[in-house]
């Protein structure tokens, strides 16, 4: 009986380490690197996210009666094919859903998922403006921190390093603005 209780405690401790405690940054970096290599080996493409969000927006716009196939972005062959194939045949969009579901599952398992009260409308306005600027910037830079930074640097491209320097400068400036106008 004593050995059984000790065994249960060890199992609980291992599950807590795996499911509840945060992984060290170095472990996350190694895991993401392995997953990126695996994705590249299977699909022939590095990891990218924002293009698939654009496609999702276009599919929603199409459902509302807009004709995104007339947009210049969908004049390119790859983008036109993605639009024509639809959501369920777009591996990147399914992958994005998996990322969102995985992040939610991780938060739930770690007991960190919760709805928080909105402190002020200034906070909402700041979040909306910040989200818009991040999305616009990601499309303007032809990628976000995943496609432009992570996949760019791992594929030995100069643009990944330029993106990193710009992202660090923007993060510094954005945090100064946030502290000055939205937090106090």
List, for residues 129-172, the tens digit of each pLDDT value.
Answer: 888 888 888 888 777 878 788 788 877 889 889 989 988 998 89
Confidence bin at 184 (pLDDT 50/70/90): low
- Same domain membership, residue 57 and residue 36: no
Same domain for 55 and 96, yes or no, is yes
Judgement on whether residues 137 and 173 belong to the same structural domain of the protein? yes
Q: What is the pLDDT of residue 39?
A: 84
Same domain, 131 and 183: yes
Do 33 and 94 fall into the same domain?
no
| CA distance linking residue 37 with residue 31, whole number of Å | 10
Query: What range does the domain containing 95 cover?
Result: 48-114
Query: What total number of domains does the chain contain?
Result: 3
Q: Which of 114, 134, 168 is the last residue of a domain?
A: 114
Q: Report pTM.
A: 0.69
Residue where a domain terminates, one of 28, 44, 60? 44
Which pLDDT does position 64 carry in this prediction?
A: 94
Instruction: Give the pLDDT confidence score for residue 63 in this predicted structure.
Output: 92
Q: What does the buried/exposed string (b/e) look like for 24-57 if buried means 16 or more CB atoms within 10 Å of the residue's CB?
A: eeeeeeeeeeeebeebeeeeeebbbbbbbbbbbe
Averaged pLDDT for residues 81-106: 88
Same domain, 128 and 99: no
Confidence of residue 118 (pLDDT cuts 50, 70, 90): confident
pLDDT for res 115: 84
Task: Please give the pLDDT value at position 44.
Answer: 83
Q: What is the DSSP letter of 44?
A: S
**pLDDT in the model for residue 1:** 64
Q: What span, in angstroms and rounded, lies between the C-alpha atoms of 184 and 179?
A: 7
Average pLDDT on 62-72 reads 93
Average pLDDT over the chain reads 84
């Amino acid at each position: 009986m004593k050995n059984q209780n000790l065994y249960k405690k060890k199992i609980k401790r291992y599950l807590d380490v795996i499911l509840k405690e945060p992984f060290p940054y170095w472990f996350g970096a190694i895991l993401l690197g392995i997953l990126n290599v695996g994705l590249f080996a299977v699909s022939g493409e590095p990891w990218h996210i924002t293009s698939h969000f654009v496609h999702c927006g276009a599919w929603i716009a199409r459902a509302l009666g807009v004709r995104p196939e007339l947009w210049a972005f969908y004049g390119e062959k790859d983008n036109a094919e993605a639009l024509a194939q639809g959501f369920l045949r777009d591996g990147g969009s399914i992958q994005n859903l998996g990322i969102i579901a995985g992040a939610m599952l991780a938060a739930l398992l770690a007991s960190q998922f919760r709805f928080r009260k909105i402190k002020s409308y200034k906070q909402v306005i700041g979040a909306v403006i910040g989200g818009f600027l991040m999305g616009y910037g990601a499309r303007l830079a032809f990628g976000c921190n995943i496609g432009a930074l992570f996949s760019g640097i791992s594929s030995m491209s100069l643009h990944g390093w330029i993106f990193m320097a710009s992202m660090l400068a923007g993060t510094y400036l954005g945090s100064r603005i946030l502290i000055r106008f939205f937090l106090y």
